[in-house]
Chains A and B, each alone.
Chain A
Amino acid sequence: MRALNRKLSALYSAGIWDHVGKSGDLQRFGLCATAIDDAYAIGNEKVLSELSETLCGCLFRPVLENGAFPEKNFGVLKQLLTDMNDAEINDKALYAYRRGTEETHRGEPAAVSMYGENEEIRKITPQAAYEAYTKALRTMNIEILCVGRADFSDTRELFREEFRKIGRAALPRPENRPSALKAEPITVVQPMEIAQSKLYLSFKADIQNRYAARVMCELFGGDVSSKLFTVVREKLSLCYYCTSSIHPDKGTMTVESGVEEKNVEKAKEEILRQLGEIQNGNFTGEELRKIKNSLENAFGAWYDTLNNASNWYLARILENDIESPEERLKKLLAVTREEIVEAARAFRLDTTYVLSAGKENA
């Protein structure tokens, strides 16, 4: 690690870090690297080239000890991972979202924690981890995204050659499966000694028009012009935040809010009422115009940061629908009022999860 840090420092404090995440049923993990563009190197060093080689070294030639990851480092990293799982509870909104997702997708890969369960983590040996890693390099779907003003052709060749050496035999690309609606909506209440209750609702639908569903979700709880912000927060003063987000590949839409325990039911009723308003077409042309203005503003920013640009295209690759932000925005702006109503009517309540601050539950 010390040698790696020295190398990165010499590359103008370049960074290499791991990335773990989930996109519905799909588990993602990988390595990211970032550095200044060669044009800014004081000594005209080839920063990109050296960073690419360093990244390849981490990926293809990790430090080994008796044919496995070094025991001592491995133990530290296992501890780090279980600590991260244990620390999840510190962020109550994130914890509630994770638990809500678990209840919404019970029995599906989407319900599994992205870091795995502590009991399983503790059983992993350095040897088993190394074997799993080498298998992953050969068989998993791998995406390489290069973003910046540089010419990445040498980097592309470097990766092509490294992967050729190990002999790739990639498995078919996994896909998200839409989540089935529960026969009856469920409610799960988890008491905890906290100051504010967290309310999580999930809705499911067979999404036929993902563009209409996205605009509908924005109108429902996307930003400060949405129904949830203007009514649940501004008019009723029930919360500081109340937002909705949509996950088209799983056919789900979720709502998250933080509310006073005594107002949990009132907030839920109002959230459902506002969805009902959209389902009944009770929204004005002005409301829709504002939502589209907001989308136009947000989509204009996709290329402003390298992270935004790479996240955009990684998400599109996983959706199996590669289009530019401009192309998608055009489709979103073309969504009609009727399509929004139809999209909203398809959604049904599936799960209510409450991280409850109620003393009576403690």
Chain B
Amino acid sequence: MKKEIISSERLGEQYTVIRHPSGCTVCLYPTREKTAVALFSTRYGSVDTTFKTAADSDYVTVPEGIAHYLEHKLFESDECSVFDLFAETGAQVNAYTSFDATTYLFLSTKDFAKNLRLLLDFVQRPYFTDENVEKERGIIEQEIKMYLDDPGTRVFITVWTRSIIITPSGLTSRGRSKAFKKSTRSFSTAATIPFTI
């Protein structure tokens, strides 16, 4: 494990970067602010629809938009909604999916350690049922439609998907509303692929 401290005498600040042999990078940056933020991010985004590990004989393909759907679905646990768990401390919890990464985060002004344990736990303990996958469909469809009405987002997505990122059908980071033929099996496949954290 490599540990590096980057500091500035003039700014009176420093941060530490730790590189774990697994490929996971941990960055710790203490600040004077009361709000603490923790992000848990993986290099798995909307363009990652086909993949295989060294142990697999062939590639696995999952439906478009599944990274974003997965981002939503990790907010469920076998006991309650993850939002409920963070509501105990009052922390704000959120997540976002880009072309090449999915990130989960929280902001809190107290109980940092407790919130961090919650974050690490819920992201690594997916809980899918047919019922909760189905429940999310309406929410995600409305999120997609909200962005469809935004000209700036449409221009951005169109330019990136058609001229820079080459994908079969112009993926968006949220998928397309008609590509929602998901199953819990698809989620399980995507959730167990060992992308770098």
Contact = CB atoms under 8 A, between A and B. Distances in A.
Interface in A51-106: 90-93
Given A195-B148, A230-B83, A293-B89, 18 more contacts: A92-B149, A92-B150, A195-B146, A196-B142, A225-B84, A237-B135, A237-B137, A237-B139, A238-B142, A239-B142, A240-B146, A290-B90, A294-B87, A294-B90, A297-B89, A297-B107, A301-B35, A301-B109
A234 B138 CA distance: 10
B142 A297 contact: no
Nearest to B108: A297
Contacts, number: 100
A36 to B, nearest CB: 11
Given A240-B139, A260-B142, A297-B109, A303 B34 contact: yes
A152 to B, nearest CB: 20
Contacts of B34: 300-301, 303-304
A90 B150 contact: yes
Interface string A274-314: 00000000000000001011111110110110000000000
Contact of A300 (B10, B35, B138, B149): B35
Contact of A239 (B86, B91, B135, B139): B139
A40 interface: yes
B35 A304 contact: yes
3 closest residue pairs by CB, A with B? A300-B109, A237-B138, A293-B90
Nearest to B11: A40
Interface of B: 10-11, 33-35, 81, 83-84, 86-93, 107-110, 135-143, 145-146, 148-152
B152 A90 contact: yes
Contact of A194 (B110, B136, B140, B149): B149
Contacts of B10: 40
Interface of A: 40, 90-93, 194-196, 223-225, 229-230, 233-234, 236-241, 258-260, 290, 292-298, 300-301, 303-304
Contact of A297 (B84, B91, B135, B150): B91
A22 to B, nearest CB: 23
A16 B6 CA distance: 32
A222 to B, nearest CB: 11
B110 A297 contact: yes
Contacts of B91: 297
A154 B89 CA distance: 43
A349 B18 CA distance: 55
Contacts of A293: 87-90
Nearest to B34: A300
B81 A234 contact: yes
Contacts of A91: 150
Contacts of A300: 34-35, 109-110
Interface of A is mostly: mixed
Nearest to A290: B87
A233 B109 contact: no
5 contacts: A40-B10, A90-B152, A224-B83, A240-B146, A260-B141
B37 to A, nearest CB: 10
Given A91-B150, A196-B149, A301-B35, A240 B87 contact: no
Contacts of A237: 135-139
A91 B148 CA distance: 11
Nearest to B140: A240
A224 B149 contact: no
B33 A304 contact: yes
B145 A195 contact: yes
B141 to A, nearest CB: 8
Contacts of B84: 225, 290
B151 A258 contact: no
A99 B149 CA distance: 17
B142 A240 contact: yes
B115 to A, nearest CB: 10
A150 to B, nearest CB: 16
A234 B131 CA distance: 12
Nearest to B94: A224
Contacts of B33: 301, 304
A196 B148 contact: yes
A333 B35 CA distance: 20
Nearest to B10: A40
Nearest to B89: A293
A258 B139 contact: no
B21 to A, nearest CB: 35
A238 B110 contact: no
B176 to A, nearest CB: 12
A97 to B, nearest CB: 14
A285 to B, nearest CB: 13
A260 B138 CA distance: 9
